[in-house]
Amino acid sequence: MGKLRVIGIGPGSIENMSLRALKAIEDSDIIVGYNKYIDMIKVLTLDKELYSTGMKGEEARCKEALSLCKDKNVALISTGDAGIYGMAGLILELRTNEEVEIIPGITASSAAGSVVGAPLMHDNCNISLSDLMTPYEDIKKRVKLAAEGDFVISLYNPKSKGRPYYLRECINIIKEFREDSTPVAVVRHALREGQNYKLFTIQNFDPEVVDMMSIVIVGNSKSYYKEEQFITPRGYENKS
């Protein structure tokens, strides 16, 4: 009997993949994933069988991975962390008696945060603005409550052609609970080829620079810039 490993490959660059993930891919007979994700680790797949699908083929990939692992070792890959907007949850919902191991990876907010400084040093949350599986009214409610709770907020899937105004609307919701000087960072292709970023305040934030390859990080009430580094204090200096 084979084994299915659900692997978070991190941002997509080999050097930012965990050793555990790397070894699991090396030990697998078959790699299953979205075709663009497989391309990101192409150098690791040259002697492997491959099964790939396009966007929105998540359920088909998971079912195929579960079927294939009955006889062989299979790696089902996701960028970031497999348990954060990845395939881990769906696999566990669909599995019957297959042996499954979940291997974590660097999620996009952690990758983006490392590029611009230390914005996630205090309580923070991730919110996806994609409404493919979550009603937009629920998304806006979560954004409002996170902003009211003074969380640092990382916005995943912030903008697409089908929903060009969600990001602007959600930033306006957050503005109700933030000072104009609150830092906002936009990081594209964090920790992989093509990486770039822009730093704003919430007052001068420009959603036009954002696309689906971006992560948007909005600071809390204590966040600030120091020499173009985005910092959210943890509060160590206040300990008695």
Name the band, by pLDDT with cuts 50, 70 and 90, for residue 118: very high
4: which strand partners?
Answer: 74, 100
Q: CA 63, CA 58: separation in Å to the nearest integer?
A: 9
Q: Give the per-residue pLDDT at 122.
A: 97
76: which strand partners?
Answer: 6, 32
Domain range annotation of the chain: 3-106, 109-231
Name the band, by pLDDT with cuts 50, 70 and 90, for residue 13: confident
Q: Give the per-residue pLDDT at 58.
A: 87
Summarised one tens digit per residue, pLDDT across range 199-209 is 999 999 999 99
53 CB neighbour count, 10 Å cutoff: 15
DSSP-based three-state secondary structure for 163: strand
What's the rounded mean pLDDT across residues 111-129? Answer: 98
Q: Give the per-residue pLDDT at 184.
A: 98
What's the rounded mean pLDDT across residues 60-82? Answer: 94
What proportion of the chain, given as a percentage, has pLDDT over 70?
98
DSSP-based three-state secondary structure for 53: strand
Give yes or no for residue 1 having a pLDDT over 90. Answer: no
Give yes or no for residue 91 having a pLDDT over 70. Answer: yes
DSSP for residue 232 = -
Judged by average pLDDT, the poorest of 36-40, 148-152, 202-206, 226-230 is: 36-40
Name the band, by pLDDT with cuts 50, 70 and 90, for residue 198: very high
Q: CA 54, CA 64: separation in Å to the nearest integer?
A: 14
Name the band, by pLDDT with cuts 50, 70 and 90, for residue 240: low
Instruction: Read off the pTM.
Output: 0.93
- Is domain 109-231 in CATH 3.30.950.10, yes or no? yes
- Summary mean pLDDT of the chain: 94
Pick the CATH number of 3-106 from 2.60.40.10, 3.40.1010.10, 3.40.190.10, 3.30.750.24: 3.40.1010.10
Q: Give the per-residue pLDDT at 119.
A: 98
Q: Give the per-residue pLDDT at 238.
A: 67
